[in-house]
Structure 1
Amino acid sequence: MAEIGDFKAKPPVETDPMGASSEGASLYQLIREDIIEGRLAANERLVVTDLARRHGTSTNPVREALQLLRGEGFVIFLPNRGARVRPIDQDFVRDIYEIGVLIEPALTRWFVNMATGEDIAELERLEGLIEENNFADTFRHSELDTAFHTVMYQRHYNRHAAELWWKHREVLRAVSRRFNFTLARRAAIIREHRELIAHVKAGEADKAAELVSRHVEGSGRHILEQMRARNAARAG
């Protein structure tokens, strides 16, 4: 694991969009990141020739990438209007975190039954860094928190489930970076991480899975509350 200064969370699996050419898969990653980070704005029209020119490629890989993004819900196709960026709005965030509530408990239950002493030590090390940072650097917290959960999911036999978790988490991470953690949410994260480690140590798979379900739902609801508050402030 990297030291504090150059720490960066990495995906649990190498993301490889199914059925895409190597160029189409590469463009899919680039355009997806532009959407998540807001470099491509909500409802912005995605013109195939413009994207091909921007990325120095032909139009076929761009079409591939847009179809992959359509399948994930990041791009919508409208009759006579072509492809557009789907807004990462409250409904989209809700859908993503609700999928996490379904997937992550299953991944966690498997991990508890397979966890080694080294795994537990790594969870404790990362939680120590999270608490040492104490939300002072929100980007660093995001990286450490993602690494914490990656320890549990990175060796799962269902690589598609692990990849889906990572992709959805990246969306939620990008959205959450726009807001500050409330004091209540900060306390909940620390408490739930500590409880989770205790369940892993005790081999309590069902309790760990139940806790992770609450943890993911709490995170999703916190983001939605922040989004609603910002929208209300703008409307006012």
Structure 2
Amino acid sequence: MSAAPPLPETPGDAGTSAYELIREAIISGRLGPNERLKVGELAARLGTSTNPVREALQLLRGEGFVIMEPNRGARVRPIDEDFVRDIIEIEVLIEAALTRWYVGIASHADIAALEAKQAEIEALDFRDPAQHGRLDTQFHQLIYDRHYNRHAAELWWKHREILRAISRRFPTSLARRTAVLREHRELIERIRAEDAEGAAAVVARHVEGSGRNIIEQMGAARRTAAREQPAVVGLAPRQPA
């Protein structure tokens, strides 16, 4: 049996970590759903020692990309609609709570910073999806990074990075693009009006909408792949003589 091929590297510098490479391989599908993750084999494919691979698998377990079972080792968790739905349901609660608190401390300077970041997002107008993702993250960081509960803010960041990585595989619909810009503007106005509950409601709708777009795109891709899969032709039953 021939050896497994090296895992293709992600875009970036030559110092890309084992964690980043394995994570990208899972998200892109090069490491398939429920595939066994053997430390020695992965180390060989990545051209590294086993320690970075073990550390990477533990990090990916914490993010939900890897499942570890007693006496059975690690395997890839399927990145499907249920996976995204679970994250979105948690994010709706976290982001609404972080936003609600922020409204009580936001200053005129804070609102000006949000306006400036939103102006950058609108000027880009989704022409560069990767840059839009970075600007959008920075917009929300202006709100969430101020929160006293660092565990909640870090959980938001972890889920944000997972969703951003998954969404790279799928386009953002024109309707969703329009909604993103509108919801950001509405959020800024709710914060300016010191409407904590209104701001929290806007963020909850914003998170749900983005999650729904990813789930719909994942479903469409799955259905397309199923249609394009070649049919299995079986042998016709032998007719009696």
What displacement does 1:48 show? 1.7
The two structures have a TM-score, normalised by structure 2, of 0.78
Which of 61, 67, 90 is the matching residue for 1:99?
Answer: 90
Specify the alignment match of 1:174 in structure 2: 165
Distance 2:108 2:28 in 1: 37
Report % sequence identity. Answer: 64
Tell me if the contact between 1:36 and 1:171 (Cα under 8 Å) persists in the aligned partners: no
Distance 2:96 2:200 in 1: 4
What displacement does 1:235 show? 1.5
Alignment of 1:173-192 (within 5 A): 173-192=164-183
Specify the alignment match of 2:221 in structure 1: 230
Tell me if the contact between 1:37 and 1:174 (Cα under 8 Å) persists in the aligned partners: no
Distance 1:231 1:39 in 2: 16
Tell me if the contact between 2:101 and 2:147 (Cα under 8 Å) persists in the aligned partners: yes
Count of matched residue positions in the alignment of Structure 1 and Structure 2: 210
Which structure's residues are more often helix, by fraction? Answer: 1
Residues 1:71 and 1:143: Cα distance change in structure 2 (over 3 Å): closer
Tell me if the contact between 1:108 and 1:152 (Cα under 8 Å) persists in the aligned partners: yes
Distance 2:27 2:109 in 1: 34
Any gaps of 5 or more consecutive residues in structure 1?
1-25
Query: 1:11-40: per-residue Cα shift (whole Å, max 9, x none)?
Result: xxxxxxxxxxxxxxx865664455345564
Tell me if the contact between 2:100 and 2:199 (Cα under 8 Å) persists in the aligned partners: yes
Larger radius of gyration: 2
Distance 2:58 2:174 in 1: 41
Residues 1:162 and 1:177: Cα distance change in structure 2 (over 3 Å): same
Residues 1:34 and 1:157: Cα distance change in structure 2 (over 3 Å): farther
- Answering whether residue 136 of structure 2 is matched by residue 145 of structure 1, we say yes
Distance 1:89 1:156 in 2: 31
- Answering whether residue 198 of structure 2 is matched by residue 207 of structure 1, we say yes
Choose between structure 1 and 2 for higher RCO, CA contacts under 8 A separated by at least 6 residues. 1
Tell me if the contact between 1:109 and 1:206 (Cα under 8 Å) persists in the aligned partners: yes
Specify the alignment match of 2:12 in structure 1: none
Tell me if the contact between 2:101 and 2:196 (Cα under 8 Å) persists in the aligned partners: yes
Tell me if the contact between 1:108 and 1:205 (Cα under 8 Å) persists in the aligned partners: yes
Tell me if the contact between 1:156 and 1:162 (Cα under 8 Å) persists in the aligned partners: yes
What displacement does 1:56 show? 3.7
Residues 1:52 and 1:230: Cα distance change in structure 2 (over 3 Å): closer
Tell me if the contact between 2:63 and 2:158 (Cα under 8 Å) persists in the aligned partners: no
Alignment of 1:60-209 (within 5 A): 62-78=53-69, 81-209=72-200
- How well do the aligned residues superpose, as a CA RMSD in angstroms? 2.3
Any gaps of 5 or more consecutive residues in structure 2?
1-16, 228-241
The two structures have a TM-score, normalised by structure 1, of 0.79
Counterpart AA for 1:203: E
